[in-house]
Chain A
Amino acid sequence: MARRLFESLECWPNLDGNRPTLPVTLSTLDGQRVIHQQPMPIDTGFAGAMLLSREAFSYFERAEFPESESRIYRTLIGPVPMRTARALLRLPPADETEILVDTPKYGAGKSLIGLQALDRVELLLSRQRSETCILKERSKT
């Protein structure tokens, strides 16, 4: 397997010393910025793009999915029905992209970054340095 080299573009300290985070900027579909560069924890066990608290989700209710088409998450304790809406996400250094955000139909929820949101970035989760870095692959020349 060919060796690949990466360099870190920018790093952020982990929340509470052990929770990897990235600064998130979220806007509504019509361009209203709701969350600006707010550090949010990463959960690679969450297959969606982003989970939001009920309060944060309220800003995206003007572009919500029908209830019959909102997502369901399979968990160890059973299915968790969600409310799903569209939002615009900007993660450094990627461009703004449309994603689906979820909040639990029941309960207050919480904010975290899931796997789908990380599709477009190369990431280093460094336990030793207690930081999370965005990487860029070095060119071979």
Chain B
Amino acid sequence: MKRGSGGKVYAGRVVIVIKVILVTLVVRGLDEKTKRSLRAEAIRRGLRLAEAVKEAFQLWRSYDQDAQTFSERDVNNAAYSAMRQELEKYAGKTVLIAGGKLLGTYENPRLAALDLKLKAPEARHAIVTAIGKDKREELAWLGGSLNL
């Protein structure tokens, strides 16, 4: 009686069990352009295709650590968008939004940040914006440290 590698006992012969840990993954519906650019990028980085996919997946997963913040952020941004018109009446004031709610209006951003400590100390994300003053800016970033 001999013991096989899988822990099973067989009479008179050795059974070799090879665990297959390398799998072939078939991705259906991936367009030719994406496939080619994925392969080209892998070659450019000196990786095999499987290694490139693994690396990309790990990068993707690394963002999951912020999942709670992202959701709080999404809720706050959705609340801000919904209230945008209504907030116009606070022109010149700073508004504080956390937990998807307008928590207050203030003379300046620092007062809003201090009040956040009292009203929502557990919040990981909040919007602090001066109505009518804070507007989207487009700035230049020339060469130098551009590698993100």
The answer to whether A62 and B145 touch across the interface, beta carbons within 8 angstroms, is: no
Residue interface mask A9-27, B partner, CB < 8 A = 1: 0000000000000000000
A17 to B40, CA, bound (A): 35
In the complex, what residue of chain A is closest to B120 when comparing beta carbons?
A: A62
Q: For this complex, into which size category does the number of interface residues on chain A fall?
A: 35 or more
A36 to B137, CA, bound (A): 28
In the complex, what residue of chain A is closest to B77 when comparing beta carbons?
A: A67
In the complex, what residue of chain B is closest to A71 when comparing beta carbons?
A: B137
The answer to whether B113 and A66 touch across the interface, beta carbons within 8 angstroms, is: no
Asked if A63 meets B109 with Cβ closer than 8 Å, knowing A30-B114, A30-B117, A47-B141, the reply is yes
For the residues of B in contact with A, the DSSP-based class is mixed
Could you jot down 27 A-B contacts, CB within 8 Å?
Answer: A28-B113, A29-B109, A29-B113, A30-B110, A43-B145, A46-B144, A46-B145, A61-B69, A61-B73, A61-B124, A61-B125, A63-B116, A63-B126, A64-B73, A64-B126, A66-B80, A66-B127, A67-B77, A68-B136, A69-B134, A75-B146, A76-B142, A76-B143, A80-B148, A86-B128, A106-B148, A110-B145
B residues with a Cβ closer than 8 A to A are: 66, 69, 73, 76-77, 80-81, 98, 109-110, 112-114, 116-117, 123-129, 134-146, 148
